[in-house]
Amino acid sequence: MTKQTKNERRCSFCGRAESEVQLMLTGLDGNICDQCVEMANNVVQTELKPTKDFTLKGDQLPKPTEIKNFLDQYVIGQHEAKKYLSVAVYNHYKRITQPKSAEDVEIEKSNIILVGATGTGKTLLARTIAKKLHVPFTIVDATVLTEAGYVGEDIESILTRLLQVADYDVKAAERGIVFIDELDKIARKGDNPSITRDVSGEGVQQGLLKLLEGSVINVPPQGGRKHPDQKMIAVNTQNILFICGGAFDGIEKKIAQRLNTHVVGFDAVHEQNVVDRNNLLQYITPQDLKSFGLIPEIIGRLPILTYLNPLDKQALRLILTEPKNSIVKQYTKLFAMDDVVLKIDESVLDYIVEKAIEYKLGARGLRSIAETIMMDAMYEIPSSEVKELHVTLEYAQEKLNRSQVKIA
């Protein structure tokens, strides 16, 4: 034990002697040790931590056309879905900023459901619109949800994530927007109600009803399973806008049956003039969602129904180069960070599009194919003296064909 001297300096905060600490700082009228300095720094960092501002003002509300123009910078096509989304978000803004009055008409929220094949941009639309918003926004996956008491996540975990985005500001979270992805994965597994429990299908739909309609939900702050001794946070979902998305793979057959057409085969000439068999989703109705396996109660709480068009060759070609975060611009930026100039022939871009259409992976397939072509170059060039990379059609075909041989 260190022996203390009679005139030894002491910390004015904790009273420790200079011999008991590593460093003692002296001021005009007192001293402070290194341990108290560290504790004070932690307190200051916590108290002065910047908080997210979710305050909305009426004169700052982006108009539907402004929201759609912003989406156009990042998402190619899908004008119908963009219009529905822009109006829904704008009305949500107006609804939560209107002054409350007993005489006024009470505006109800209009939850929206997006239907489109994989890779058409449902999740991208949701992520992009989050950049424009000043309300808490989160994306959750419906595939992990199960009925209470079963392995998986409870329905309330949706609101837990919204609270986390809002830094546990309940009032801010109650004005937020939630995008529920993969809604089709919780469709009823059979046409008729089963005696056994459908814990990840119809049971989850039943649990979502109270969230979508608007009620006070007790939410576990850290997520996970609820238990009696856990402290809960009460969240009112009355002003939370829910946007749902799903591929609904196979729903075209339901639409075709309703339209009395055939997905495969020959149609009469007059039927071909009326029905576009290449894009049956544009004729989707709530009745088709019911046939697919969504219960009528949940369909009624998602009153706005819209669709995303399948991506054709022209749209996929534009996706490669036009958006702000296009794939080509991303690779150009990555190589530029190593002082390498990237040049890609137009024929290579067309080749990538053709392969994406062949694999039927939508826009998501473009990145996978491009990554396969660029992988060797991204591995070797940072360690070399190469300052320019020119990707030709022959180079792209060689890299992709070699990858396909390995897979086989």
Q: CA angle 192-194-199, nearest 5°?
A: 120
Higher pLDDT, 361 or 22: 22
Q: Mean per-residue pLDDT for 204-227?
A: 81
3-state secondary structure of 336: helix
CA–CA gap between residue 325 and residue 183 (Å, rounded): 27
Tens of pLDDT, residues 314-334: 999 999 999 988 999 999 999
Higher pLDDT, 374 or 202: 374
Domain boundary among the residues 288, 307, 326 is at 307
Query: Which range among 93-107, 337-351, 363-377 shows the weakest confidence by mean pLDDT?
Result: 93-107
Domain boundary among the residues 277, 307, 337 is at 307
State which amino acid sits at residue 71.
L
Per-residue pLDDT at 408 exceeds 50? no
Tens of pLDDT, residues 239-261: 899 999 999 988 999 998 888 75
Please tell me whether residues 331 and 299 are part of one structural domain: no
pLDDT at 7: 75
CB hemisphere CA count around 319 (13 angstroms): 24
Average pLDDT across the chain, whole number: 84
pLDDT band at 406 (very low <50, low <70, confident <90, very high): very low
Q: Could you say which DSSP state residue 153 is in?
A: B
Domain boundary among the residues 247, 278, 307 is at 307
Helical spans, DSSP H, in 62-201: 64-72, 79-97, 122-132, 157-165, 170-173
Q: Kindly state whether residue 1 falls inside one of the protein's structural domains.
A: no
User: At 261, which CATH number?
Assistant: 3.40.50.300
pLDDT band at 85 (very low <50, low <70, confident <90, very high): very high
Q: Could you tell me if 164 and 178 are in contact, meaning their C-beta atoms sit under 8 angstroms apart?
A: no
CA–CA gap between residue 225 and residue 155 (Å, rounded): 10
Per-residue pLDDT at 2 exceeds 70? no
pLDDT band at 227 (very low <50, low <70, confident <90, very high): low
CA–CA gap between residue 173 and residue 210 (Å, rounded): 17
Complete edge-to-edge strand list for the sheet that includes strand 304-307: 137-141, 177-181, 241-246, 112-115, 304-307
pLDDT at 127: 84
pLDDT at 296: 92
Please tell me whether residues 386 and 401 are part of one structural domain: yes
Q: What is the largest distance, in Å, between two alpha-carbon atoms of the chain?
A: 108
Q: Mean per-residue pLDDT for 374-395?
A: 93
CA–CA gap between residue 70 and residue 136 (Å, rounded): 18
CA–CA gap between residue 330 and residue 152 (Å, rounded): 36
Tens of pLDDT, residues 263-306: 555 554 444 456 788 888 889 999 999 999 899 999 999 999 99
Please tell me whether residues 235 and 340 are part of one structural domain: no
Domain tally for the chain? 3
Q: What predicted TM-score, i.e. pTM, was given to this entire model?
A: 0.75
Per-residue pLDDT at 102 exceeds 70? no
Provide the domain limits for residue 45.
Answer: 7-49
Look up residue 392 and give its two tokens. Answer: 């030709």
Look up residue 171 and give its two tokens. Answer: 């009032």
Q: Could you tell me if 323 and 331 are in contact, meaning their C-beta atoms sit under 8 angstroms apart?
A: no
Please tell me whether residues 130 and 233 are part of one structural domain: yes
Tens of pLDDT, residues 161-191: 999 988 889 998 998 889 999 998 888 766 5
3-state secondary structure of 388: strand
Please tell me whether residues 36 and 65 are part of one structural domain: no
